[in-house]
């Protein structure tokens, strides 16, 4: 770890202390006075009066005429219709506060009525709901015509890159993964939302936005303590297992007799492997089942199988939340100025260290020994539905975004009462993992405003981004897509009622354990350029063309080649890469032994004593 005071959070150690407010200070921008103004606005709109809502300093920049500076005359009726038909009691706000929030949006949007904007996100259930339900409601209430396009995740990044490189405004706002936080912070081509909300965007920033309610706001905060993106949806990758099989008396007795300990949720990879071995080939309900599920086709989707924190689950990198510092789960080391200084062990990185190689070795072993044979030729999307077919005992790396599809009535993994036969639980950790390290990945698709977007269009898009993440709509949106972003939503009574039908999702998000799951952090200086290297190199290992060590050596060298080009080009200035001079790997292993950090030397025993925990006991401990 880099130097830092004992009471300083791990994720802030070694970070430069920027002048300007920290993200906690940004939250305090929403004052009681603004709240009173919002309620007054609601009263004015209810009476059908004009002139409610903020006005931009430069009316000509918006292209709005005098008439369009008045709130949409149909706003009150449209809001009432929307709240009655779509929201009801599915909100963390009272009805009066819902109406006030909708009234504020109508008033703030007044100068932009008739403006047509385009925004884009990947195609998942949450965004489909926004595009098909919330976007039309927003248009009806505000008069801003929004087209919310749904495309592939890779296409979103491609469009974003094109806009960054060309300066041409392709979309007025993007929902892109917060994995790009390091990219956005270093290139400075997106609007810094902390400064935007305090200045140009102040008149279109909702007084009820409440950044402190967003559970992933630290994921979208740069080392300069400024917020660059607004979370829109989140989901984690967790451990998935057949609760009915794990609690079956015969299975429990046979497992105990064979392995000498109780069948339960695996705490470490040693136990996971024993459980995979136990169930593979075992006959249950007349079918032979498998103890593991994964995928292995050399395809771009194989990349995020590993960049999404697989190495940190094994114990790669340093301690720290939300990400390890100075070495993160990609194995990239940064210095005290947050400059990337190496990926290979010889420069202080950990991409090709023993923990990383161990993680790839186990991935390949389990895929070949315990997963269905066809899994080796599957992509992410092809493998996703397999556990729901009823022949998989457990899966180490399972995205909670699959929950909605896994609880459909009639599936082999659902019982007659409509309750799931499966559960989700915290992921087991590898032999190199230590308490305080990140334990898994959490996707945080987040609203991003490019500097190349004209101000009036950015303001209109910012209003839409706040609308679809507002407290008025978020509970209903979360029930639809099951991708939580707000603490107030997670704690809503409706989720207490629904929790037994969701297999542990609500319990996880209400637990203290969730902080160990986070997206890619700020150590990664150019996510698009670096991420594409992973599937190509690890795919070689999965296909048997390279050993795990050879694959990770090639990967770290490829990452450093990108870092070197960025350093030479100087496009990221004083926060871009500045590579360390290479030293013997043992020098770094010795340093890490003293500091207790990364890169860790190879363990004499990579198969520690297996450990499990009873699922129901685990849930009770959270509560």
Question: Distance (Å, rounded) from C-alpha 333 to C-alpha 325?
Answer: 8
Higher pLDDT, 4 or 281: 281
Q: What is the pLDDT of residue 70?
A: 83
Is residue 146 within 8 A of residue 127, CB to CB? The reply is no
* pLDDT tier for residue 5 given thresholds of 50, 70 and 90: very low
The predicted structure's pLDDT at residue 404: 86
* 303 lies in some domain: no
Mean pLDDT of 61-81: 73
pTM to 2 decimal places: 0.88
C-alpha distances in angstroms, 199 versus 28, 193, 204, 205, 424? 15, 10, 10, 10, 43
Cα 299 from Cα 314, distance rounded (Å) = 23
pLDDT value of residue 620 = 85
Condensed to tens digits (0 to 9), the pLDDT of residues 313-327 reads 999 999 999 999 999
pLDDT of 328 over the 50 cut: yes
Work out the pLDDT band at 71, boundaries 50, 70, 90: confident
- What is the DSSP code (8-state) at residue 598? S
Give a yes or no: residue 535 inside a domain.
Answer: no
pLDDT of 577 reads 98
- 430-445: per-residue pLDDT in tens? 999 999 999 999 999 9
Q: Is residue 261 part of a domain?
A: no
User: Do 99 and 208 contact (CB within 8 A), yes or no?
Assistant: no
Query: Strand, coil or helix: what is 5?
Result: coil
Decide which of 290 and 72 is more confident.
290
pLDDT tens figures, 27-69: 333 333 334 444 444 443 443 333 344 333 333 334 444 344 6
Instruction: Encode pLDDT of 522-573 as tens digits.
Output: 999 999 999 999 999 999 999 999 999 999 999 999 999 999 999 999 999 9
CB 231, CB 485: distance < 8 Å: yes
In a domain, 587, yes or no: no
Strand, helix or coil at 341?
strand
φ and ψ of 394, to 5 deg? -160, 160
Q: How many helices and strands in the chain, by DSSP H and E?
A: 26, 14
Instruction: Decide if 142 contacts 114 (C-beta within 8 A).
Output: no
Query: Mean pLDDT, to the nearest integer, of 387-406?
Result: 94
Percent of the chain's residues with pLDDT above 90: 86
Q: Provide the number of structural domains found in the chain.
A: 1
pLDDT, position 608: 98
Query: What local confidence, expressed as pLDDT, does residue 600 receive?
Result: 97
Of the candidate ranges 45-49, 288-292, 360-364, the one whose mean pLDDT is the lowest = 45-49
Measured CA to CA, the distance from residue 572 to residue 564 in angstroms comes to: 12
| Residue 33 confidence (pLDDT) | 33
CA end-to-end span of the chain? 32
Which residues make Cβ contacts (< 8 Å) with residue 305, sequence separation at least 6?
A: 294, 295, 380, 397, 535, 538
- Provide the 8-state DSSP code for 602: P
For residue 116, what pLDDT is reported?
Answer: 98
Q: How far apart are CA 16 and CA 242, in angstroms?
A: 46
DSSP structural state of residue 57: S
**Average pLDDT score over residue span 77-85:** 98
272 belongs to a structural domain:
no
Residue 85 forms part of a structural domain:
yes
CA 262, 267, 272, 273 torsion: positive or negative?
negative
pLDDT at 504: 95
Give the tens place of pLDDT for each residue, 216-271.
999 999 999 999 999 999 999 999 999 999 999 999 999 999 999 999 999 999 99
pLDDT tens digit string along 479-493? Answer: 999 999 999 999 999
CATH number at residue 39: 3.40.190.10
| Residue from 518, 564, 533, 9 nearest 339 by CA | 564
Task: Examine the pLDDT at 77 and tell me if it is beyond 80.
Answer: yes
Residue found by looking up tokens 């072993």 in the block: 365
pLDDT confidence of residue 19: 33
With H, G, I as helix, E, B as strand and everything else as coil, classify residue 171: coil
Of 446, 494, 558, residue with least CA distance to 179: 446
353 part of a folded domain = no
Whether residue 188 lies inside any domain: the answer is yes
CA nearest to 311, candidates 341, 276, 269, 254 = 269
In the chain, % of residues over pLDDT 70: 89
Mean pLDDT over all residues of the chain? Answer: 90
**What local confidence, expressed as pLDDT, does residue 405 receive?**
87
The pLDDT tens digits for 105-134 are 999 999 999 999 999 999 999 999 999 999
Q: Which domain holds residue 492?
A: 11-232+448-515
């Amino acid at each position: 770890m880099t130097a830092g005071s004992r009471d300083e959070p791990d994720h802030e150690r070694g970070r430069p202390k920027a002048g300007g407010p920290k993200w906690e200070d940004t939250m305090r921008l929403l004052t009681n006075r603004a709240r009173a103004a919002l309620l007054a606005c609601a009263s004015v709109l209810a009476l059908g009066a004009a002139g409610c809502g903020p006005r931009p300093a430069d009316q000509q920049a918006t292209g709005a005429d005098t008439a369009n500076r008045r709130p949409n005359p149909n706003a009150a009726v449209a809001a009432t219709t929307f709240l009655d038909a779509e929201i009801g009691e599915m909100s963390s706000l009272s009805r009066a506060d819902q109406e006030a929030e909708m009234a504020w949006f109508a008033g703030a949007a007044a100068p932009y009525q008739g403006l047509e904007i385009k925004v884009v996100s990947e195609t998942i259930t949450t965004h489909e709901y926004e595009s098909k339900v919330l976007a039309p409601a927003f248009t009806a209430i505000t008069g801003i015509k929004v087209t919310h396009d749904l495309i592939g995740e890779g296409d979103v990044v491609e469009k974003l890159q094109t806009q960054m490189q060309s300066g041409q405004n392709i979309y007025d706002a993007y929902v892109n993964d917060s994995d790009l936080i390091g990219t956005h912070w270093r290139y400075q081509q997106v609007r810094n939302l902390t400064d935007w909300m305090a200045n140009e965007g102040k008149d279109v920033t909702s007084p009820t936005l409440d950044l402190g309610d967003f559970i992933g706001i630290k994921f979208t905060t740069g080392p300069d303590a400024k917020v660059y993106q607004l979370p829109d949806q989140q989901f984690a990758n967790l451990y998935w297992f057949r609760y009915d099989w794990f609690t079956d008396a015969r299975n429990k007795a046979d497992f105990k007799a064979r392995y000498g300990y109780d069948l339960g949720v695996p705490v470490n990879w040693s136990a996971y492997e024993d459980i995979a071995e136990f169930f593979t080939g075992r006959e249950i309900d007349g079918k032979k089942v498998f103890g593991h599920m994964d995928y292995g086709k050399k395809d771009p989707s194989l990349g995020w199988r590993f960049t999404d924190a697989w190495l940190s689950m094994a114990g790669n990198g340093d301690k720290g939340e939300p990400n390890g510092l100075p070495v993160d789960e990609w194995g990239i080391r940064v210095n005290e100025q947050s400059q990337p200084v190496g990926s290979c062990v010889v420069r202080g990185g950990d991409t090709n260290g023993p923990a990383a190689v161990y993680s790839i070795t186990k991935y390949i072993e389990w895929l070949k020994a315990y997963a269905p044979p066809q899994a080796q030729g599957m992509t992410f999307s092809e493998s996703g539905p397999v556990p729901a077919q009823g022949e998989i005992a457990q899966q180490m790396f399972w995205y909670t975004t699959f929950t909605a599809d896994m609880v459909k009535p009639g599936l082999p993994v659902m019982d007659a009462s409509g309750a799931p036969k499966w559960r989700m639980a915290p992921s087991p950790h590898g032999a190199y993992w230590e308490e305080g390290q990140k334990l898994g990945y959490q996707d945080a698709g987040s609203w991003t405003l490019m500097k190349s977007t004209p101000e009036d269009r950015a303001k209109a898009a910012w209003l839409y981004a706040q609308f679809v993440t507002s407290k008025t709509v978020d509970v209903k949106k979360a029930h639809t897509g099951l991708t939580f972003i707000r603490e107030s939503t997670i704690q809503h009574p409706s989720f207490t009622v629904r929790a037994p039908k969701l297999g542990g999702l609500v319990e996880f998000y209400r637990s203290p354990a969730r902080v160990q799951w986070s997206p890619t952090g700020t150590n990664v200086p150019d996510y698009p350029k670096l991420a594409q290297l992973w599937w190509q190199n690890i795919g070689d290992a999965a296909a048997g063309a390279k050993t795990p060590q050879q694959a990770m050596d090639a990967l770290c060298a490829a990452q450093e080649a990108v870092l070197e080009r960025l350093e030479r080009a100087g496009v990221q200035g004083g926060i871009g890469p500045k590579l360390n001079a290479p030293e013997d790997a043992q020098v770094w292993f010795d340093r890490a032994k003293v500091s207790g950090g990364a890169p860790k030397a190879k363990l004499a025993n990579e198969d520690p004593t297996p450990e499990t925990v009873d699922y129901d006991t685990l849930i009770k401990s959270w509560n």
